[in-house]
């Protein structure tokens, strides 16, 4: 592996609730190289956003959440060991996070340009150059007439423009990592495509490392180098984007891929969906979290959690179908029989 910028190991995060705990993230491991985009994909409640917020230390703020185990190595430091003040500095400069709702990041009572300027100054940028740099950043995110936009409030922007402003706010300080949590989910399809294009360009220009969190595999298809598929608080499959799309190995990933609209298919063919719902993480299943929804589930799937099998190219999957004693199954995406790993 080249320069690893973030190394997450055995991360587990829970929320205390009346009578017990919700085990939102249950032992997650991944590494990201500098300049890479990692897509973390899964449905609501899979633990992907909790993982991201744990990395930037936002889960522990004002919640009943607590870190159960794990380390997050960034730049030679374990982020789980930093004080609140040190983590606030990491969020101001090194690891920036953007959200589905730009108003989570933008202050509605402050002019947009001023917010970018303040972020720059907080990150140590010279005061006398911060205004020019803020306008330049608004130009880089392709907001028309950036000098005028600098003096406007967030409510004067459209949804797509607010998303651009939020990206400008996050990228102005040239962070080492940008975490984007469902940044295009609330946008119409055209604006979504424009924002994804912008993010690709921004990544090239800043040589940024990006973690893109989404429920939609289509969003990360043209952007990510690697994809981690999360389900019930665990990464169930991980690999290069091409391997995940062309040779997916986990039945949950098969289901996700089958539910992506295909423009080449007849409009009369119904979209398939994954029946059922994810398990309650208040009392997570002992075995595979997907077992109740999986058409290939075997007895063992309900009793034990499958080990991770390493396939080719660093492609990993946690599924009993890889076991030599498993029944023979045809992968619905490749049409080929699943080879036991
Ligand atoms: Fe399905 Fe069993 Fe594989 Fe889980 S381990 S995805 S239940 S076959």
Ligand 1 atom closest to the Cα of residue 236 is 6
Whose structure tokens read 């294009």? 197
Whose structure tokens read 């803020």? 134
Task: Kindly indicate the confidence band of residue 250, based on its pLDDT and cuts at 50, 70 and 90.
Answer: very high
Q: Is 306 in the pocket of ligand 1 (CB under 6 A)?
A: yes
Contact assessment for residue 103 and residue 72, using Cβ atoms and an 8 Å cutoff: no
Q: Is 296 in the pocket of ligand 1 (CB under 6 A)?
A: yes
Rounded to the nearest angstrom, the distance between the alpha carbon of 321 and the centre of ligand 1 is 7
Contact assessment for residue 259 and residue 329, using Cβ atoms and an 8 Å cutoff: no
Domains of the chain, with CATH numbers? 4-224 (3.40.50.300), 250-322 (no CATH)
Q: Is 251 in the pocket of ligand 1 (CB under 6 A)?
A: yes
pTM: 0.93
Phi, psi of 188 (to 5 degrees): -70, 165
Q: Dump pLDDT digits (tens) for 157-216.
A: 998 899 999 999 999 999 999 999 988 887 888 888 888 999 998 888 888 999 999 998
Q: Which of 146-151's residues contact partners 24+ apart within 8 Å by CB, and which partners?
A: 149/112, 149/113, 150/111, 150/112, 150/113, 150/114, 151/111, 151/113
Whose structure tokens read 């289901």? 255
Q: Is 292 in the pocket of ligand 1 (CB under 6 A)?
A: no
Q: Is 294 in the pocket of ligand 1 (CB under 6 A)?
A: yes
Task: Kindly indicate the confidence band of residue 59, based on its pLDDT and cuts at 50, 70 and 90.
Answer: confident
The average pLDDT across 251-274 equals 78
pLDDT, residue 62, reads 66
Task: Kindly indicate the confidence band of residue 270, based on its pLDDT and cuts at 50, 70 and 90.
Answer: low
Contact assessment for residue 150 and residue 134, using Cβ atoms and an 8 Å cutoff: yes
Q: Dump pLDDT digits (tens) for 221-246.
A: 988 999 999 999 999 999 999 999 99
Rounded to the nearest angstrom, the distance between the alpha carbon of 297 and the centre of ligand 1 is 5
Name beta bridge partners: 229: 41, 237
Q: Is 249 in the pocket of ligand 1 (CB under 6 A)?
A: no
Helix (H) and strand (E) counts in the chain: 11, 12
Q: Find the angle CA(60)-CA(219)-CA(230) to the nearest 5 degrees.
A: 45
Tokens of 237: 């499959």
């Amino acid at each position: 592996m080249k320069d690893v910028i973030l190394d997450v190991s055995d991360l587990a995060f829970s929320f205390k609730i009346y009578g017990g705990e919700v085990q939102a993230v249950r032992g997650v491991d991944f590494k990201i190289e500098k300049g890479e985009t990692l897509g973390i994909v899964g449905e609501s409640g899979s633990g992907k956003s909790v993982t991201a917020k744990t990395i930037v230390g936002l889960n522990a703020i004002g919640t009943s959440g607590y870190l159960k185990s794990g380390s997050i190595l960034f730049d030679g430091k374990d982020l789980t060991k930093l004080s609140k003040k040190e983590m606030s500095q990491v969020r101001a400069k090194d690891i920036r996070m953007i959200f589905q709702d730009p108003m989570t990041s933008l202050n509605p009572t402050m002019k947009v340009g001023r917010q970018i300027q303040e972020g720059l100054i907080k990150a140590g940028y010279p005061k006398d150059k911060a205004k020019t740099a803020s306008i330049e950043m608004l130009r880089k995110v392709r907001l028309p007439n950036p000098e005028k936009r600098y003096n406007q409030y967030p409510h004067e922007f459209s949804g797509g423009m607010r998303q651009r402003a939020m990206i400008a706010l996050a990228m102005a300080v040239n962070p080492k990592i940008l975490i984007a949590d469902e940044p295009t989910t609330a946008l119409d399809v055209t604006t979504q495509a424009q924002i994804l294009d912008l993010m690709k360009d921004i990544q090239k220009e800043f040589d940024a490392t990006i973690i893109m969190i989404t429920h939609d595999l289509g969003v990360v298809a043209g952007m990510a180098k690697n994809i981690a598929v999360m389900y019930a608080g665990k990464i169930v499959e991980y690999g290069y984007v091409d391997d995940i799309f062309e040779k997916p190995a986990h039945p949950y990933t098969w289901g996700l891929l089958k539910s992506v609209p295909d423009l080449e298919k007849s409009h009369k063919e119904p979209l398939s969906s994954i029946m059922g719902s994810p398990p309650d993480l208040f009392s997570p299943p002992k075995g595979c979290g997907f077992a109740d929804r999986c058409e290939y589930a075997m007895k063992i799937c309900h009793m034990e959690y499958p080990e991770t099998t390493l396939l080719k190219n660093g492609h990993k999957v946690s599924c009993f179908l890889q076991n030599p004693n498993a029944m023979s199954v045809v992968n619905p995406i490749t049409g080929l029989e699943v080879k036991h790993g």
